[in-house]
Structure 1
Amino acid sequence: MDPFLHLEAVAVPLPRPNIDTDQIIPARFLSRPREIDHGQFLFHDARRLPGSPEERPDFPLNRPEWREAKVVVGGRNFACGSSRESAVWALHDYGVRCAIAPSFGDIFYNNSLKNGLLPVVLPAEAVAELTAQLEARPGATLRVDLPAQTVTFPDGQVHGFEIDPFAKHCLLEGVDELGFTLTFEEDIAAFERRYGRENTR
């Protein structure tokens, strides 16, 4: 998992509320192993014309200004629905490192933190303002500063956000929960040796 410190990138607005995980990655792609690129399935059905591989020109990620976006700005209850971790994989593999919304599906939020994608909760009014700026200036960039826990909008407004300290540490270091545990490998081995000696007397 790559460390997350600072990100200055194009942000794409997807302001509709209740975008669920089945829209982010349709269920028929869930059997694919993690090793493959799940980014190719991101918003698969929404990005394409019905029954056709042809892209819908009106879908935001199909527009040249937003095609390379690394930040998604969603609406209320973004990524609600089923618990599929593949929804995070699809965003991450596409290149998205941060999602900003007034609220998230709880399971998606936690899955994001475990997979190197930073979910940022901002007040609804701030997200609406950010969305308006991005729609007025397609291709505009914003800056996410995880150490400072701030987001700087295209017009220079700075908004703070909250994050669990342990999740923040893991993102900054680029480790998941298992990776964090393995940083104590020597201590664990020493405890096991000591425990073994003390319990074989």
Structure 2
Amino acid sequence: MEHAKPLPSYLVQRYQGWKATTYEQNQPWYRHLGAQGQHPRAMIISCCDSRVHVTAIFGADQGEFFIHRNIANLVPPFAPDGDYHGTSAAVEYAVGALKVAHLIVLGHSQCGGVQGCIDMCEGQAPHLEAKDSFVGRWMSMLKPRYEKVAGIENAEDKARSFEKQAVLVSLENLLTFPFVQERVEAGDLSLHGLWHNIGEGGLECFNPETEEFDPL
């Protein structure tokens, strides 16, 4: 693989600093994790956005969360069609093999993927409409929900509402997976929808009784 290059020096230095401090001070714990395998209590499906730091938000250590990240924290509907399904495979492994007790979908403010979907729905993103746009095809699963926010005039309010719709779409699609629905109905798996305000450090949780996102 001639195009693969050595790791940038600043990352090498950061790794060496971690190895000499955090790892060195917690060797027994890391050796335990390495020997015993993973037993996370929850799976979190979040966005790829570099500003969304899931473990920092919850003060989590290694081994606590099984984390899957993709554009706009979306879960596609159950579709055993033989194609590649990275998100579906992650859900299957978390629920079937790891037996997580909680499945959490975490959306966030200023989501570029969600904004791209808004732009597509409003005819302002021809590059995302192109057949060779992976982002555009991925975000198309959210397009049917645009009608719920189309009437919102303020751009920021529209984006925030649509970001929360992305969370709800994912929760609904999770229930199309038979193995998810089975465990939810059995009472040993719970689904949770969250939305994170990056700039304000806020976290809101979907309340199924009011169908609103309530601040935590």
Tell me the TM-score normalized by structure 2.
Answer: 0.27
The structure with higher relative contact order (CA 8 Å, sep 6+) is 1
Tell me the TM-score normalized by structure 1.
Answer: 0.28
